Structure 1
């Protein structure tokens, strides 16, 4: 991810509040924007004017200042204000960073499908990105979803796709489910399928949920968890 750009300014004033206002003005806050005199008022107005979250502003009082005796020998207050721009946490940019770390040249396009955000990868290194049965693609998808959930309050399922792998995989799983159902009906026995990801298992369950002749359930744990298709009366 890009390194945040940090801007900072130091300023003097008769009081720390004056120094704060002066430092913020150096960073772009209009002089006529101020409302209230407390440090909290100054921070609130400044962050609103700069369109920043308060967490992106650091105020450090370098010197409180002194008034001196009879107006003589006083020392100015000095304040340093640092602004840190929030890093770009868009799902597409997070995915691009992961792909770059893998040393793969690729383009990322976004597409909204119902309540899911699809990130479609266009690359010549499709096989490397997908991995066996999509394990690499699933791992990348997990990393993107985790990074986005930590950086944002927005909860939207993100699907990472490459060369329409998700669609092709779903078609294959649907056919596999129907074949297992036919075999279970013909033999009267359970038909265990290969271990699958939660997403793939859900596709199998949903495919056969309305088939009255068979039932589906999952067996084993972790990476060995798999769907079993069995006759309804077994």
Structure 2
């Protein structure tokens, strides 16, 4: 006989762990905002199997743009620093996602559209399409969109030139 009570307990433990990651990340980011003298609120959530933390501003988000940087480069670095802060506290590797002023959410929308449109192009032509090099986050979003459109994709190349190839 199998023990079915452990599955919900394991899910609860995982949720608690991800919420703890979000709390640690929020504390770290609040300290950073104070040091940088930037106004922003921290929103925490759990999306799938990872903690998600967003820095949002009620007024103009021009100041927070400094935390995004050119094409999200500063935000990616800040995400890695935040993951390290979580790791320091928990001893476990974090897959936490950081968004600043909705930048990542907007990028996800654009990449989902790109994946769907590229999948449609591949369906029409029957020819594979290689996309521009992307970050791991960007590639994941495109792979998911291509799969949702019923096609296959794979990544090829070495970082930082790794790219998605959509296959017929």
Residues 181 and 229, structure 1, Cα contact 8 Å, conserved in 2: yes
Residues 92 and 108, structure 1, Cα contact 8 Å, conserved in 2: no
Match of 2:160 in 1: 223
Aligned length: 141
Match of 1:162 in 2: 100
1:106 to partner: Cα distance: 2.6
Q: TM-score if structure 2 supplies the norm length?
A: 0.70
Match of 1:43 in 2: none
Please give the secondary structure, in 1, of the residue aligned with 2:139. Answer: helix
Q: TM-score if structure 1 supplies the norm length?
A: 0.53
Choose which of 42, 46, 55 in structure 2 pairs with 1:120: 55
Point out where structure 1 has 5 or more consecutive residues left out of the alignment.
Answer: 1-88
Cα distance in 1 for partners of 2:53, 2:136 equals 18
Residues 65 and 101, structure 2, Cα contact 8 Å, conserved in 1: no
Higher relative contact order (CA 8 A, sep 6+): 2
Q: Which has the larger radius of gyration?
A: 1
Point out where structure 2 has 5 or more consecutive residues left out of the alignment.
Answer: 1-22
Choose which of 202, 206, 212 in structure 1 pairs with 2:140: 202
* More helix per residue: 2
Choose which of 147, 167, 172 in structure 1 pairs with 2:85: 147
Could you say if the C-alpha distance between residues 133 and 94 of structure 1 is closer, same or farther in structure 2, counting changes exceeding 3 Å?
same
1:104 to partner: Cα distance: 5.4
Q: Which moved more, 1:187-196 or 1:169-178?
A: 187-196
Cα distance in 1 for partners of 2:42, 2:148 equals 35
Match of 1:93 in 2: 27
1:120 to partner: Cα distance: 2.0
Cα distance in 2 for partners of 1:169, 1:204 equals 11
